[in-house]
């Protein structure tokens, strides 16, 4: 069996999900008599990521000192490298105090079932200045129109910290049974396939030809054993394509255009931060935890609008301390279809090309075409993928016309 890359910060992966059925049931029962709090969607996603082993070696939500230290220097007070605060922020802690054990309830599932049990070690309040430091450092902007800033500002200023035991993985297992996988499950499958050099591709969108070829380039140039397409299944901003549609489009592409057993299609339960460079580093941390040796970093990775430069999410890795991460990055330039070469290329590798030599389509233009039932050119999108997206956009258009 191949030896996998070590997880971040420990020799073994330590997921916080309670796998022992009797213990899980006992905690579920105990939770009924505990004080409870319905957490924010962001805090729920953090619990799922810790439960699934993606946020190894964290044992729970960060306290104020750790949150501020992560935001400022990408390091916890213990010295552990971590790029983004992992918090449970609430508007009002009610009577919850340090020393209490509380049930954390899921805001995203009907009936608000218990997601985790938490031993509260701290109840602290952020000042406006504290929050400002976190927002500025993590998102690089304080603009409330930024979706990540907006989501953080709505959570509240009271920070509950302490270790958690996760009792279920929210709606991800039930809504995406074929796609959602824990870091534990992905590691196990990588080991079963005998892969050791593994490339991870992050996506919150369907994959167009350029994405597909980028994965192929990375696999070829790194001589990788396999590819893990790892899609975000949590909350997105308005206008992003829903996970089931994206899932169907990606599965169709892999089924037709990738060799058998060369790619795994998986997903994870997290709410997108749109934090650009900082989120790219977080992506590297949890891809290492799931067993990937390399993360593909494309243009404007995890970005939104024009808040970040096109390659900021690549250059931030130059400031990651030596040895802080074991995973490597595969840094990609803009990719486009070359009419001259009849294939997708990295634009920096085609210095003899002019703008006219590339097939260039904006995302807006592509959405317009799909909405009108027109498939984008095959140089941009695989026809089978385009059909799935056309169906989605036409249903969207007829729904808005009916309203």
Which residues are annotated as catalytic? 204-205
**Nearest partner of 358 among 366, 349, 369, judged by Cα:** 349
Q: Give the tokens for residue 383.
A: 């026809």
Closest Cα partner for 165 from 30, 67, 282, 40?
Answer: 30
Using DSSP's 3-state secondary structure scheme, residue 345 falls into: strand
Q: Which two tokens stand for residue 64?
A: 């104020």
CA 225 – CA 398 distance, rounded (Å): 44
Adjacent-strand bridge partners of 330: 296
**159 near 63, Cβ under 8 Å?**
yes
138: buried, middle or exposed (CB in 10 Å: 19+, 13-18, 0-12)? buried
Q: Which two tokens stand for residue 199?
A: 């490339």
| Contact present, 149 and 135 (Cβ < 8 Å) | yes
Cβ atoms of residues 98 and 122 within 8 Å: yes
Closest to 358 (Cα-Cα) out of 366, 367, 350: 350
Q: Are 389 and 253 in contact (CB under 8 A)?
A: no
| DSSP assignments along 153-173, one per residue | HTT-SEEEEEEEEE---TTHH
For residue 281, give every residue at least 6 positions away whose Cβ sits within 8 Å of its Cβ, in sequence order, or none.
74, 83, 84, 316, 317, 320
CA–CA distance, 316 with 50 (Å, rounded to integer): 24
């Amino acid at each position: 069996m191949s030896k996998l890359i070590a997880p971040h910060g420990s020799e073994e992966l330590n997921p916080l999900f309670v796998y022992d059925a009797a213990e899980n049931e006992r905690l579920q029962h105990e939770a009924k008599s505990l004080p409870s709090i319905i957490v924010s969607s962001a805090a729920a996603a953090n619990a799922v990521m810790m439960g699934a082993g993606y946020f190894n070696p964290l044992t729970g939500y960060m306290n104020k000192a750790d949150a501020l230290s992560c935001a400022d220097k990408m390091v916890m007070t213990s010295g552990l490298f971590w790029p983004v605060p992992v918090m449970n922020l609430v508007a009002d802690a009610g009577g919850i105090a340090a020393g209490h054990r509380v049930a954390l309830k899921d805001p995203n599932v009907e009936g608000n079932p218990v997601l985790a049990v938490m031993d509260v070690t701290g109840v602290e309040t952020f000042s406006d200045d504290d929050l400002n430091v976190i927002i500025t450092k993590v998102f690089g902007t304080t603009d409330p129109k930024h979706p990540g800033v907006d989501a953080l500002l709505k959570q509240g200023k009271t920070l509950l910290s302490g270790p958690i035991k996760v009792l279920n993985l929210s709606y991800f297992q039930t809504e995406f049974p074929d796609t959602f996988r824990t870091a534990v499950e992905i590691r196990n499958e990588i080991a079963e396939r005998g892969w050791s050099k593994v490339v991870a591709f992050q996506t919150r969108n369907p994959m167009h030809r350029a994405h597909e070829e980028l994965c192929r380039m990375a696999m070829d140039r790194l001589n990788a054993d396999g590819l893990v397409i790892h899609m975000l299944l949590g909350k997105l901003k308005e206008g992003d394509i829903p996970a089931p549609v994206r899932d169907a489009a990606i599965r169709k592409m892999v089924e037709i255009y990738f060799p058998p057993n060369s790619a795994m299609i998986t997903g994870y339960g997290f709410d997108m931060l749109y934090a650009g460079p900082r989120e790219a580093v977080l992506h590297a941390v949890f891809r290492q935890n799931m067993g990937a040796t390399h993360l593909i970093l494309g243009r404007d990775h995890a970005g939104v609008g024009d808040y970040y430069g096109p390659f900021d999410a690549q250059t931030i890795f130059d400031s990651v301390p030596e040895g802080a991460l074991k995973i490597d990055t595969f840094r990609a330039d803009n990719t486009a279809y070359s009419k001259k070469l009849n294939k997708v290329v990295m634009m920096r590798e085609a210095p003899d090309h002019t703008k006219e030599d590339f097939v260039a389509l904006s995302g807006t233009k592509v959405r317009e075409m799909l909405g009108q039932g027109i498939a984008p050119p095959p140089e941009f999108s695989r026809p089978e993928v385009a059909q799935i997206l056309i169906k989605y956009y036409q249903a969207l258009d007829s729904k808005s016309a009916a309203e």
